[in-house]
Amino acid sequence: MAGLASLGSLSAVAGAAILSFLLTGLATWYAGRRGLLDHPGERHSHTEITPRGGGAGLVLAMLIVSLSLVETGTDDFWVRCIAPGILVLAATGWWDDHASLSARFRFSVQLVVTCWLLWCALGVGWLQGIVSLTFCGLFVIWMTNMYNFMDGSNGMAGLQGVFAASVLAGLFQHSGDVPYAMYSMILAACCLGFLPWNLGRAKVFMGDVGSLALGFVFAALLLYGYGSGAFSLPVAGLVMLLFLTDSTMTLLFRVIRGERWYNAHRQHLYQRLIASGWAHGQVAVLYQAINITLVLPGILLAVYLPDLAWPVALALTLFFLLGWYLLIRRYKVSTLAG
């Protein structure tokens, strides 16, 4: 692959956005014809019946464009280890969007995909020891599910995808890893192509087919970036810090309160804001404003001043944890524990 500034690369990125837009439209039409609909309810933040499964267009466009750029015969980590996991999880999510699968089956699929990714990482020498394997395995599985948990507000998951993938593209480009900068830009473009169907008054929801695949691909790219030396561990932790804070702290508080943490609920901060009267668009803009004004500068500091990487990451993490706690105390809306 040539540099990101080449005409071919720009064409591929633009093509990915257009293809994602078109395929999401096709998935929306299909969902309407098949009756794949999400209905408003006490555990949902939307108020209108809306088709689901639009993420199929995003994922399919990402796979088509990214794999079309791989040189023949290349033994690439993306081809061997990441793309198969995306495909398997998207297919499982697509199936789940049609007919609810058991939590045990979904977790089993995630475990198999995660083990394959870790096996690949072991093969290139990125992971050593049971501790690192266990930590990375838990991280990949949590990221896969976390993204699904955070996909409950119009534009939320898509905008986060644009932000995180764009940041990863910059990090890979800075390290000289042009192919993965390109994969990341394609991912950002596909998320962008999905947004016209989901931002504002949503015409379709991403569904498990999109959110599970996106959670996995971000986990895989972060693992690859850290393992290959493209960026440091604190930088990797900052990319998805906002989503990780809301999802992880919500889960921990549910466990502490003795609730059935695995049941559907409306206790994430973004869901509390919506239940308190915020519009979906306002919440999505708030989250991305935080990303741009706090997370992005933190990442830049950590990259260009490596000695400050850990202090910056820890300071931002503590700040986010405190902010999350203060806000959920303020927005004590009626949310079902489940």
The verdict on residue 108 lying in a domain is yes
Nearest 5°: the CA angle 253, 255, 259 is 105
When divided into structural domains, the chain yields a total of: 1
DSSP 279: -
The verdict on residue 60 lying in a domain is yes
Predicted pLDDT of residue 336:
47
3-state secondary structure of 67: helix
**Pairwise CA distance, residues 304 & 294, whole Å:** 16
What digits encode the pLDDT tens for the residues 101-124? Answer: 888 999 999 999 999 999 999 888
Predicted pLDDT of residue 1:
43
Highest mean pLDDT among 8-17, 94-103, 120-129, 184-193: 184-193
The verdict on residue 326 lying in a domain is yes
The pLDDT confidence band at residue 240, using thresholds 50, 70 and 90, is very high
The verdict on residue 336 lying in a domain is no
The verdict on residue 236 lying in a domain is yes
The verdict on residue 184 lying in a domain is yes
Mean pLDDT of 296-322: 97
What digits encode the pLDDT tens for the residues 53-101? Answer: 899 999 999 999 999 988 755 568 999 999 999 999 999 999 988 888 8
Residue of 191, 196, 30 lying closest to 98 (CA atoms): 30
| Cβ proximity of 270 and 149 under 8 Å | no
The verdict on residue 337 lying in a domain is no
The verdict on residue 226 lying in a domain is yes
Predicted pLDDT of residue 10:
84
Domain that holds residue 25: 7-330
What digits encode the pLDDT tens for the residues 257-270? Answer: 877 666 666 788 99
Q: What is the pTM of this model?
A: 0.92
The continuous run of DSSP H or E covering 168 comes out as helix 156-175
Structure tokens at 304: 């260009």
Q: Does 44 have pLDDT greater than 70?
A: no
The pLDDT confidence band at residue 187, using thresholds 50, 70 and 90, is very high
Mean pLDDT of 160-188: 96
Location of structure tokens 């059935």:
260
Q: Which residues, listed in sequence order, are joined to residue 38 by a DSSP beta bridge?
A: 50
Mean pLDDT of 226-243: 96
Q: What is the mean pLDDT of the chain?
A: 89
Mean pLDDT of 177-186: 95
* DSSP assignment of 35-91: T-EEPP-TT-S--S-EEB-THHHHHHHHHHHHHHTSPTT---HIIIIIHHHHHHHHH
